[in-house]
Amino acid sequence: MSDRLAGLALLALAIAYGVTASGYEAFIGDPLGPAVFPLVIAIPLGLFSLYLIVRPDPEPDWARGRPLLMQALSVITLLLYAYLLEPLGFVVSTFLAVVVLASLLGARPAQAGAAGGAIAVVLYVLFNNLLGLPLPAGLLSFLG
């Protein structure tokens, strides 16, 4: 039953996403338009949700105790990451999120810190410098 409920929720999301995206208008000289990427997401999401509705798995064993707590802390970390991205900046918030998530997965503090630093810097250079997508500087705005 839980797969069918998840399938229905995802199908509603796919339809809403597709309907919203279909209203986007293309700019002059843009052959694809801004609706293409959301539709590329909405169509497979709709198909996979239909699969969940038609062919659900047997009822799962839901997490309890410590695993449930770890899942909840992971979701809270991702929500805080989205909330703190602007004020703290991309590098600082990404570093903190990776450190917390790596720690939740069992990494030692030094490993979590190294992974957080490397991921934050590499992604910043990739998106900001190579792809030209400006990211929020936040606390590090004095550097740029």
Q: Give the model's pLDDT for residue 34.
A: 64
pLDDT digits (tens, 9 = 90+) for 57-76: 887 777 899 999 999 999 99
Number of domains observed in the structure of the chain: 2
The reply to whether 77 and 41 lie within a common domain is no
Distance between CA atoms of residues 98 and 95, nearest Å: 5
The reply to whether 73 and 139 lie within a common domain is yes
pLDDT digits (tens, 9 = 90+) for 17-56: 888 877 766 666 566 666 677 888 889 999 999 999 998 8
More confident residue, 127 or 117: 117
The answer to the question of residue 60 being in a domain is no
26 with 32: CB under 8 angstroms?
A: yes
CA-based angle 79:24:37, to the nearest 5?
Answer: 60
The reply to whether 137 and 86 lie within a common domain is yes
The reply to whether 49 and 72 lie within a common domain is no
Q: What is the pTM of this model?
A: 0.65
**Coil vs helix vs strand at 134:** coil
State both tokens at 33. Answer: 């338009």
Q: Give the model's pLDDT for residue 46.
A: 93
Identify the domain containing residue 21 by its residue range.
2-54
